[in-house]
Structure 1
Amino acid sequence: MASTFVEVDGCVLHVREDGPRDGPALLFSNSLGTDLRIWDAVVDALSDRWRCIRMDKRGHGLSAQGDAPITIERYAADALAVLDRLGVSKAVMVGVSIGGMITQATYAARPATFAGLMMCDTAAKIGSADMWQQRIDMVHRDGLAAMADTVLQRWFAPVFHRDRAVELNGYRQMLVRTPAEGYAAACAALRDADYTAKASAVSVPCVVICGAEDGATTPEVVSAFAGSLPQARYVELPDVGHLPSIEAPEAVVSELKTLLKEVNHG
């Protein structure tokens, strides 16, 4: 299926659907500095049976930023508006990094919509306020290109840097072409978000994945987050960094299919 554009509260969002319109719905949420293409390999393996819905969050990819203040809750409201526009009443949501926090916020806003959640390389709170403010200041001062190499070290495991140099360059382009204002706004949303107190209220089965070589949200952080959820299974992937949908899509698909069977979602 082709990409489409949806207007939500005056902001035009880029949405893509793949798979049968009458299939069980999956909603994917991207990481900081990426767009919906990071899920390509995962969606390719699932779209024969499931309705796979992807969207670029505000200020990323082909989505506008809009005038509303950017918060994790704003991103969640956009996700729910897209589901409503597409007529989806039940879904499983999959998010990575900030997308995992958006997943938590989307669930918190409307728990009955979700049969289960998969959250990759994320936590209920990520980093410190000072860390994110330094990142924001650096983006405004120097631009994304100045920090790209450092970010890529956190994103991908050493084996990816060694063996997949061409792809690495491609994902560097994805990062540096992210609008600086959209990236900084997402950093501010992360700076201000803390879902620690809401973790115990997540009452659906969850799978929490972490790359063993993640330099952004470490296995210690992600496994502790998984332990705070009432019904979570933690999976650690060797030789994988921060973006398992790119580095190990087969493992993501396998774990997601296990969750989908557990919650009887297709």
Structure 2
Amino acid sequence: MQVLNRPWGAMHYRIDGPQDGPAVVFANSLGTDLRLWDALLAQMPGIRAIRFDKRGHGLSDEGEEYSIADLAEDCAALIEATASGPVVLVGLSIGGMIAQALAAARPELLRALVLSNTAAKMGTAESWAERIEAVETRGIAAIADTIMERWFAPKFRATPELALWRNMVLRSSPTGYVAACRALAATDLTRTTATITRPTLVVAGDTDGSSPAELVEATARLIPGADFRIIPEAGHLPCVEQPEAYVRTIAPFLQEHAR
């Protein structure tokens, strides 16, 4: 296991692939850890994949209350510690917000970015407050089934694999989950995302209940020259339920920009 020491504690990360491969950093969604990308990376040999657990998720320490900007600083520190130059950053959901914030604040660290199932602003203050209250009063189990419905298309929800992702959510730290929800509730990146100059691919799923395709497309329109793609029969985590289609969508972009 690999650890990057941050002012708030230990951040767990993992590197797979050849040392001389193009560096691609992956940022996870709310309620998941770096295993989110397993199926995808199995089909993408040759890249140097750098994954990490953000604060309060997976094997990383929880730290204190934080902002999306703080999470972007964590990602910047990881890139500086593990890559010899700028990287392609692939961020999904809150990971995509981390990518947007980093691209605006530290563009020199990035060659390009993939924004997946994300937006410049996700949800409302009221919706996040309701979710936080549910977790704090009744635990994550109270929202687990709703999360599965928002994350996955009906076809995937009928498979045995759904139980594994439900268990990942259930085993999340309630404190860490709530801290991430508070960061999301407080964030609107509309102004800074419009300043992004790095090549950008924006990806949506056509059955995403957390970040609907039209919301994701609206964020793509903020970024000059951004390419927008929709993956059919995919929900909020297309790298999980449609890994082959996800690879077909992002691989040409990575081949063009990763070196």
* TM-score (structure 1 length as normaliser): 0.94
2:152 aligns with 156
1:177 aligns with 171
1:6 aligns with 4
Compared CA separation, residues 76 and 58, structure 1 to 2 (3 A): same
1:16 aligns with 14
* Alignment partner of 1:116 out of 86, 102, 112: 112
> Is residue 193 from structure 1 mapped to residue 187 from structure 2 by the alignment?
yes
- Amino acid in structure 2 at the alignment position of 1:19: G
Residue-by-residue CA offset, 1:52-86 (whole Å, 9 max, x unaligned): 0000000001110123x311011111111111121
For structure 1, the 5+ residue unaligned runs are: none
Whether contact under 8 Å (1:207, 1:255) holds in the other structure is no
% of aligned pairs identical? 43
Whether contact under 8 Å (1:28, 1:95) holds in the other structure is yes
What is the RMSD computed on CA atoms of the aligned residues?
Answer: 1.2
Whether contact under 8 Å (2:121, 2:187) holds in the other structure is yes
Residue-by-residue CA offset, 1:244-263 (whole Å, 9 max, x unaligned): 11011122222222112332
2:220 aligns with 226
Q: Give 3-state SS (helix, strand or coil) of 2:175's partner.
A: helix
Q: Give 3-state SS (helix, strand or coil) of 2:209's partner.
A: coil
* Alignment partner of 2:243 out of 239, 249, 266: 249
Between Structure 1 and Structure 2, how many residues are aligned? 259
Q: Give 3-state SS (helix, strand or coil) of 1:45's partner.
A: coil
Q: Give 3-state SS (helix, strand or coil) of 1:140's partner.
A: helix
Q: Give 3-state SS (helix, strand or coil) of 1:236's partner.
A: strand
* TM-score (structure 2 length as normaliser): 0.97
Structure 2 distance, partners of 1:254, 1:201, is 28
Whether contact under 8 Å (1:121, 1:242) holds in the other structure is yes
2:135 aligns with 139
2:55 aligns with 58
- Amino acid in structure 2 at the alignment position of 1:56: D
1:94 aligns with 90
Structure 2 distance, partners of 1:10, 1:240, is 35
Structure 1 distance, partners of 2:224, 2:83, is 29
Q: Give 3-state SS (helix, strand or coil) of 2:42's partner.
A: helix
Structure 1 distance, partners of 2:104, 2:225, is 15
Structure 2 distance, partners of 1:215, 1:202, is 26
Compared CA separation, residues 207 and 87, structure 1 to 2 (3 A): closer
Structure 2 distance, partners of 1:73, 1:232, is 22
Structure 1 distance, partners of 2:157, 2:42, is 24
Q: Give 3-state SS (helix, strand or coil) of 2:111's partner.
A: strand
Structure 2 distance, partners of 1:260, 1:240, is 21
Structure 2 distance, partners of 1:128, 1:215, is 14
* Alignment partner of 2:204 out of 207, 210, 215: 210
Structure 2 distance, partners of 1:260, 1:40, is 17
Structure 1 distance, partners of 2:99, 2:83, is 19
